[in-house]
Structure 1
Amino acid sequence: MTFSYKIFITSLVLVTVSGCGMIPGSHFEGIDSGDQTRNLEQDLDNVNIQIIDASLIAHQKQQRKKPKPMSSNAGLNTRHYQYKLGVGDVLTIGVWDHPELTIPAAVQRTAEFDGFRVQEDGTITYAYAPNIPAAGKTVTELHKELVTRLSKVIEKPQVDIKVVGFRSQKTYITGEVTQPGVYPITQIPLTLIDALNQAGGLSEAADWRTVTFTRGDNTEVIQLDKFYAQGDISQNRLLQDGDIVHVNRNDAQKVFVLGDVKKTGTVMLNRYGLNLAEALSDSGGLNENTADANGIFVLRKRNYQQTGILADVYQLHARNIASLVLAEQFELQPHDIVYVTSAPLARWNRVISLLLPSVATLDNVDGLNN
């Protein structure tokens, strides 16, 4: 991934250099935004051009608040969850009023050390009840079986069974969490979100948007940000033995700031997002003497096969204070390209035309990494 992104960045830098070389740093004043949009659309039929204004900001906010459809496992129900015993689990078993059937607690020894372990053949052996099948049964089912057997020698036995060692089932939490490791499945239902919390939460370098969930031969991407930001409980999972939850690094969560700014390069998104004003500020701001405040563009790739559109291009007119409010409210997405031009209006479309192959390159990079 690192090598591919180096190629991508190199191509963008070359575009920036070539654009600055062929386009002088002059400015057009008082030009109608509708004319700007039409001029661009005439030459860029596969690009969707939009002006960053109050209506666009309102539309994007509405889209973020729009309810998301829940999947079939929405409303994860753990009320009827029951732990099933497995090989290696350790039990303590006691019978009321029959101390001879209960192993006394010893100093410097734990209940797990003295308990009854589920053997390799899936059985346990207790007094008057040898070779009881235990693996695959719940504690309630094992209790019923043991009471039935002890009833042959003890009148109305009162049996108490507890699991003191959960050894048979485990899940794996890997990647960018505070405490990656192996976590046991116990009598308390363990969900994906619970497991991440038990692992100390996400690290500073974690991709907070998605995690990878693997069960057997099937792997799916869990939209973690939808769970936290939108309460989409369909993203949660009840973990089972052998499940793997992997948290990726945040390396791909970045935008590219190019053109007539003081410091071109990448700006990282954090878990709280990144707006256009922050991206420009982190890049040192516009070059006051040469940058055209009407020529701030955001290029965002689209799925061309599905939409017939290569990219969305958003333009900000930043010549007045009100535009700064719009910049603060325009949320960027990973892999957005922010480009500040010093070109005259008639040739801005040529700059965007040069940038579009870089958007296509980014599509190819994503395809190789997926």
Structure 2
Amino acid sequence: MDVTPETVIAANRQQAYQPRALPAAFSQTAGSGGGVPQVTGPDTAFEPQTRPEELVARLPPPVPAEPYRIGVGDVVLLATKTPGTSVEELTGLLAAENRRQGYTVQDDGSIAIPDVGRVRIAEMTLEEAEGVLFQRLLERQIDPSFSLEIAEFNARKVSIGGAVAQPGVAPITLIPLTLDNALAAVGGITAADRDAAVIRIYRDGSLYEVPVKDFLVSPRYQKLRLVDGDSVYVDAEFDLGKAQAYFAEQIELGQFKQASRQSAMQILTQATELRRAQLSEERDNFSARIEHGAEPQDYVYLSGEMKKQGRWPLPYGQVASLADALYESGGGAPNMTADPRQIYVLRASADPREFSGITAWHVDGSSAVGMMMLTRLELRPRDIVFISEQPVTRWGRVVDQLSPNFLGLPGAYVE
């Protein structure tokens, strides 16, 4: 059957064929294996933004005025009435207080007072804490004359960084911490171009902005009340990457340790190397099986006027054309002896008992259309590709076979 564009379509549809796939090791990378520990970090403080045409203030919601509440880490001083002037008279709470010089609020929110025990005062105002202490002193039959004050404010802080003199933290005390006082506590703003600088306040996952030029002249912005956990960053270059790095650092503090990150990276590196070695070994084993014929493959068979007759393996993962078999199998058909007008593809029925079901597809490779058909005609496993010899080649071979007989006839004259 002559191959035309129409018959090529029929030939390609004649038998359903799914090329063999390469093993999964050839499509996987060292990072695609399972079991690699994952180290997740906190969400970024904010997404990258482009510089606005004009800086516009975006203020955080107002904070209700509330009294200071004692927190873990704060140091409180407890002073009691001195009953006398002699050292022998200094007993009970006064002696303990003189020895301790204050009480630190522990992790459980309590302070430990000799002769009184542990008293929980965390998250209480000074007035509430005094009421609890008064009751405990009465229960222990101790003179309830005392005064309570906070000596060190360590529980509630605001982080400040960027274009300031001394980046650090400002504690929140009995007096509400405002934005101007917080910046003053770290030496003030050092931005050279204050018209282009902006104060960024990061609170509870939201980012707020106050242009520095507006902050310097507006009491409303200067007296913005800050709360525990706020991060203030003075950005003088519109480089949000710096602000992101700063806020990410604040969020990560207390959540991740450097040692654990390094350990996770080492585990990840080791797992990647092991996975890479495993994939390399699987690929090498597959190549070795191919070389020794131990891996199943589909073949077509090359016959006739070929430079090299034999079987040609169909590629993995893609369908091969007749042109692929001719030009990838050792140089294709020899021009001197092969007849490019007589190229055939012999294809049998899928049932080996049906020998009458053989189809011969004929391609005339001497024409431009025929050459294009070589690239369109798909091959199937067990196809036979045959190229006939040229007539002159056939006649030359007959002469070669007859010449010795002529030379060997009785009476023939041979020089």
TM range (shorter): 0.3 to 0.5
Q: Select the structure of larger CA radius of gyration.
A: 2
Higher RCO, 1 or 2 (CA under 8 Å, sep at least 6)?
A: 1
